[in-house]
Structure 1
């Protein structure tokens, strides 16, 4: 059994900016729902866990039930009772597609691990995250790109390298100011046609090549195709207009949160003209009524 000397464990977790690819994929002869997450450094979640001697585990804020469940699962995994106090804080906008609940869960698991100096394998953390919130994004895999079965908690494919380096011009896809977001839990599970499932297999192959060769253009093609398929489930307003803006500004593609209202224009981070391209794209988005913008880069 792991032991604690009375210290508080602290951890932070990243968020994401929706998906590069999401659909249904074959794994061990069975079709699984899977996704490839776009990491985002704009926001983070922080958690602290202090073991206690009473017979309960408390959390603040009290509504962070998924974070509490994650801490309970991590303690059980370490063979420890669910005693102590968990605190969670963040600056993540809710219901937008940034993966705030996954951040809560991962930071909480991390705080428990740190409190007892007992690191868990990433695969175990992924499994616990899915148990805690029913479906989880893949931001716990920080050094590689994975196709993740977000409802099963296992890796469908590890592509072996991070995503190619990107500059992302993110924006709220609802015209005007910040929207009300999306109630992810209220969304029905997507149902894909046989043709779409075949298309996902093709996109998986293209993504594999994009990651291996660091081809930003291929990555953009995958993201755009996935966003287009997602139009049937959670439509982005003025999607065709956004595609034309991407082309005019020289973006390599468009990506979207498949359960949120944020989207992004993808640019080659190392393109010498990337600053002027993103500035031009901002003006075009603003003219189209999409006035909420932000920027970030991925490390590659």
Structure 2
């Protein structure tokens, strides 16, 4: 297993975009083999890819940017910020090595806001491109202009893996690269929230963070990555898309309970305790049931217990889910096989396993 995530915060004027590596392989290997980033949710993807974007014609500089995706949340709820005010926050579970690649060509003669996007339905990415052009022009003193944006990736849409945020962040990075600048994470976060109203913290570095997804700010940097863990991916709700913005907020009365989970997660990160991480994740999944009910949660927990998993993990605003395993377990392949068989026996779509 590796805990080295994708390189963040970088773009290039010269790098050629590479095909996404997460979901472009068929599911033909028996579960129980801990694999890399090709293996997540392979049975459940919604194919979002155009052919890999080659050179995109234009009359100005070209920038390329990349952004990762995630596998839902370890913790999501309502917390206190540094001023003691209740605030929605979340901690995502990263998926290494995959996401969206964006290529942006500046059209220097085109007016600001004159943007073409491929695929044409990526309106959030279009808004992000316009915002990023304005920000980069302000920083460099150049004139805002139009451009052409191409997106490539196979992140499943609407099941809680951060597909739109991945598009938006890759776009902001590609635009910045075309201007020859690098936007700091907090600026990218503001662009993302303005473009899509609520954003995942995919613009941040390697440390786990409690992120206010509608306010573009970090409530807590936990000072290190999540403990190493192996995830067996599956989907609930038949993989149906979920409208994130339509979901209700947790009650403010739940703040004390979520603050306890926050403290437990902090301890799990400091001590690299995968068991405690899984307990936090499982409890957060249970607490999310009134907001986005998952009838399969009981099945997930029963199968986890029988297969020797340490807990469960769900997308709190989507349908991707997983069982969590200690990577040090000596019989890990057998546990994964039992878990995959148990999930499949209950009609759940089983993906692949991956490690962070």
Say if 1:182 and 1:260, in contact at 8 Å, map to a contact too.
yes
| Number of the residue aligned with 2:93 | 38
CA deviation map 1:32-69 (0-9, x unaligned): 10000111137411100000021122212221111111
Say if 1:169 and 1:295, in contact at 8 Å, map to a contact too.
yes
Counting only pairs closer than 5 Å after superposition, residues 118-197 of structure 1 correspond to structure 2 as 118-174=181-237, 178-185=238-245, 187-192=246-251, 194=253, 196-197=254-255
TM-score normalized by structure 2?
A: 0.78
Q: Does 1:276 align with 2:334?
A: yes
* Residues 238 and 62 (structure 1), Cα distance of their counterparts in 2 relative to 1, 3 Å cut: closer
d(CA) in 2 for partners of 1:206, 1:170:
24
Say if 1:223 and 1:254, in contact at 8 Å, map to a contact too.
yes
d(CA) in 1 for partners of 2:328, 2:183:
35
d(CA) in 1 for partners of 2:65, 2:224:
25
| Number of the residue aligned with 1:98 | 161
| Number of the residue aligned with 1:85 | 148
TM-score normalized by structure 1?
A: 0.92
SS in 2 for 1:296: strand
d(CA) in 2 for partners of 1:190, 1:29:
18
| Number of the residue aligned with 2:21 | none
- Relative contact order, CA 8 A, sep 6+: which one is greater? 2
Structure 1 unaligned runs (5+)?
none
Name the count of aligned residue pairs. Answer: 290
Say if 2:80 and 2:255, in contact at 8 Å, map to a contact too.
no
SS in 2 for 1:292: strand
Say if 2:247 and 2:292, in contact at 8 Å, map to a contact too.
no
| Number of the residue aligned with 1:296 | 354
Among 60, 63, 68, the alignment partner of 2:126 is: 68
Shift of 1:193: 5.2
Say if 1:249 and 1:277, in contact at 8 Å, map to a contact too.
yes
SS in 2 for 1:97: coil
| Number of the residue aligned with 2:28 | none
Structure 2 unaligned runs (5+)?
1-12, 14-58
CA deviation map 1:84-136 (0-9, x unaligned): 11111211111111110000001001101111220111111112111111000
Say if 2:282 and 2:311, in contact at 8 Å, map to a contact too.
yes
Output the aligned Cα RMSD: 1.6
Shift of 1:290: 1.1
